Amino acid sequence: MITRDVDAFLAFARGCGPDFGVPTARAAFLVSPDGFARAEESARDNRYMAAAGFDARAALLEHRALHAALSRELPVACFPGDPLAPDGLFPNNVFATVPGRLVVGRMRHPVRQREASRQDIRGFFRDLLGYAETDLSQQPHPCELTGALVIDRARGLGFCGLSERCDEAGAALMHAAFGLRATLLFDLAPGEYHANVVLAVLAGRAVIASPRGFADPGVAAAIASLYAPHAITLSPAEHAAFAGNAIALSPDGVWMSAGALAALTASTRDALQRAGFEPRSVALPAIEAAGGSLRCCVAEIF
């Protein structure tokens, strides 16, 4: 099922148990922010990107600390960056996996489309891990993978935010590529570019959502209802600090930037603890100037 009909989606999704797949990744990979700079094309539809003040050295140091921190939780590889691809440190938009298969997305902006041609990353999965490949990068519809599509891996459910970075045809291609049971399509609020900035499903049992990131806040409430009582609604301040750009890489921990963690209210912290998640963080202020945060840096390997 792939639909905009919230009621139909909920009726179907409530019958989906956590038997579709493992809820968290077995490994991950990063791409170093070599040549870190403002990408003017990406800035056209990313209001989170800073206008100036990009600090390449600080971004590299933050990224190294992120790699070290995440590696304490699961195996994490890191590929070198490309100075001609200044957004390349956000590989989850371009590369994603299901068990035994690599999915390559189609980026909206030409500055990011070149990332999909990286033969080192493709070869890592093809030649080392033996993964098959689904390549969506050459078709015309934008589909920026787990930036646009938030996935409940345990139940096989997708939540796809439509914007200039992902249209309905692109969403359908991703739905098929990930082999999902059901995907809900919804419009993001004006000025939002990716669903994973306003929505996170944590290990298949909790959700973080920012209603102001949805064109219809009722959709956020509907998604939250699937995960009650572990449904967390973010305040505008938490949203602005990238608290929605979080990821669970194990059943008991949720990762976000230090800025996002500092912005959490006491009620959000309590709700995460009740859901069984310990907040873990890395300081990423230089990286966040590029318009993404911790979750955007992490490409999951299933």
Enumerate the domain spans of the chain: 2-301
SS3 191: coil
The distance of Cα 80 from the centroid of its chain, to the nearest Å, equals 20
Residue 160 structure tokens: 């796809």
Which of 294, 293, 291, 296 minimizes the C-alpha distance to 49?
Answer: 291
For residue 52, the model assigns a pLDDT of 82
Cα angle, residue 296 at apex, residues 291 and 301 outer, rounded to 5°: 165
For residue 89, the model assigns a pLDDT of 96
CA end-to-end span of the chain: 23
What is the rounded distance in angstroms from the CA atom of residue 57 to the CA atom of residue 262? 24
| Cβ neighbours of residue 10 closer than 8 Å, sequence gap 6 or more | 222, 225, 226
Which of 210, 243, 206 minimizes the C-alpha distance to 226?
Answer: 206
Q: Domain 2-301: which topology? A: L-arginine/glycine Amidinotransferase; Chain A (3.75.10)
177 and 135 Cβ atoms separated by less than 8 Å: no
| Cβ neighbours of residue 68 closer than 8 Å, sequence gap 6 or more | none
Cα angle, residue 170 at apex, residues 198 and 99 outer, rounded to 5°: 80
pLDDT in tens, the chain (302 residues): 999 999 999 999 999 999 999 999 999 999 999 988 888 888 788 888 788 889 999 999 999 999 999 999 999 999 999 999 988 999 999 999 999 999 999 999 998 999 999 999 999 999 999 999 999 999 999 999 999 999 999 999 999 999 999 999 999 999 999 999 999 999 999 999 999 999 999 999 999 999 999 999 999 999 999 999 999 999 999 999 999 999 999 999 999 999 999 999 999 999 999 999 999 999 999 999 999 999 999 999 99
For residue 263, the model assigns a pLDDT of 98
| Cβ atoms within 10 Å of 17's Cβ, excluding its own | 10
For residue 39, the model assigns a pLDDT of 81
What is the rounded distance in angstroms from the CA atom of residue 193 to the CA atom of residue 179? 24
